[in-house]
């Protein structure tokens, strides 16, 4: 299968990735990388806030175990 520009694109197969990306489409690659980075940063931020919240709530009982 090819696009109007003549570049080959992946065909849809049951085991294939559902996203069809042209190998030379820099914008699509950058968007995919930005989504991945945003998801990673979002997960990191959620874990950080969760850790801070748990320390605020349970900080005194946790510190009494070690003192």
> CA-CA distances (angstroms) from residue 41 to 49, 58, 60, 61, 63?
12, 25, 29, 30, 29
59 pLDDT more than 70: yes
Question: Is 7 a member of any domain?
Answer: no
Question: Is 4 a member of any domain?
Answer: no
Rounded average pLDDT over 49-64? 93
CA distance 7 to 18: 18
pLDDT at position 67, please? 78
pTM, full prediction = 0.55
The partner residues of 2 in beta bridges, in order of sequence, read: 8
Question: Is 16 a member of any domain?
Answer: no
Structural domain including 28 reads 23-67
> CA-CA distances (angstroms) from residue 22 to 33, 35, 49?
15, 17, 38
Question: Is 39 a member of any domain?
Answer: yes
pLDDT at position 36, please? 97
34 pLDDT more than 70: yes
Number of domains in the chain: 1
Question: Is 13 a member of any domain?
Answer: no
How do residues 13-27 score in pLDDT, each as one tens digit?
A: 666 656 665 567 899
Question: Is 37 a member of any domain?
Answer: yes
How do residues 45-55 score in pLDDT, each as one tens digit?
A: 999 999 999 99
């Amino acid at each position: 299968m090819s696009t109007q520009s003549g570049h080959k694109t992946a065909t849809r197969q049951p085991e294939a990735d559902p996203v069809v990306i042209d190998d030379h489409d820099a914008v699509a690659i950058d968007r995919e990388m930005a989504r991945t980075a945003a998801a990673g940063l979002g997960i990191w931020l959620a874990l950080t806030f969760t850790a801070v919240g748990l320390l605020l709530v349970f900080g005194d009982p946790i510190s009494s175990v070690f003192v």
